[in-house]
Amino acid sequence: MKVKRFGVSLEENLLGRLDRLVEEKQFPNRSQAIRFLINKYIVEEKWESDDEVAGAIVLVYNHHKRDLQNKSTEVQHNYHDLILSVQHVHLNHDNCLETIAVKGSAKRLRALADKLISIKGIKHGELVMSTHE
Ligand code: NI
C-alpha cells in the first residue's frame, strides 16, 4: 500500500503523551504509534456498530466442573456459523485454555462471548476484538 506523509501539529503536552506511548509500547517511531491509535479507534468503532468483525474468545476453566463443557458446547453449537476454529489446551491437571476464533456481526459475537463467559465455573473469559480488514 502507498504510504503518504503529512504534518501534524500538536500541543507540547500532547506530544509528550505520544512520546511516552512510543516508549511504553516500544513503537519504533511516532508514525507507528499514530497508526496504532487510528486502527484501535477504527476497530472499537466497528465493534460498536453491527458491522462484520473478527476476533477471539479466550476461556480458562476447570474441566472437572460439572456440566461446564456440555453447556459450552451447547452454546457454541447455537452460534456455530460464527465460529472459525476452537483450540483447546490442557494447561495442567485441572485447567483448560480454550481459544475460539470468531467472525460475524459484532452484536452476535458479543452475545456469544457473554453467554460463554457467564457459564458457571469459567475462571476467566475475554473477548478480543479485532477486524478482518
Ligand atoms: Ni483440557
- Using an 8 Å Cβ cutoff, are 61 and 121 in contact? yes
Neighbours of ion ligand 1 (CB under 5 A): 90, 96
Burial classification of residue 3, based on how many CB atoms lie within 10 Å of its CB (0-12 exposed, 13-18 middle, 19 or more buried): exposed
CA dihedral 13, 18, 20, 21 (to 10 degrees): 150
Q: Give the helix/strand (H/E) hosting 30.
A: helix 30-48
| Cell numbers placing 83 | 465460529
Q: Is the dihedral of CA 50, 77, 72, 82 positive or negative?
A: negative
pLDDT of residue 61: 96
Determine the distance separating the centroid of ligand 1 and the alpha carbon of 117, expressed in angstroms. Answer: 17
Which residues lie across from 98 on neighbouring strands?
59, 88
pLDDT of residue 66: 87
- List phi, psi (to 5°) of 54: -130, 155
Determine the distance separating the centroid of ligand 1 and the alpha carbon of 125, expressed in angstroms. Answer: 15
pLDDT of residue 127: 96
pLDDT of residue 124: 96
pLDDT of residue 131: 87
Determine the distance separating the centroid of ligand 1 and the alpha carbon of 102, expressed in angstroms. Answer: 20
pLDDT tens, the chain, 133 aa long: 899 999 999 999 999 999 999 999 999 999 999 999 999 999 999 999 889 999 999 999 999 998 999 999 999 999 999 999 999 999 999 999 999 999 999 999 999 999 999 999 999 999 999 988 7
In CATH terms, the fold of domain 52-130 is Alpha-Beta Plaits (3.30.70)
Non-local (6+) Cβ contacts of 78 within 8 A are none
pLDDT of residue 119: 95
CA dist 129 and 109 (Å) reads: 10
CA dist 123 and 97 (Å) reads: 10
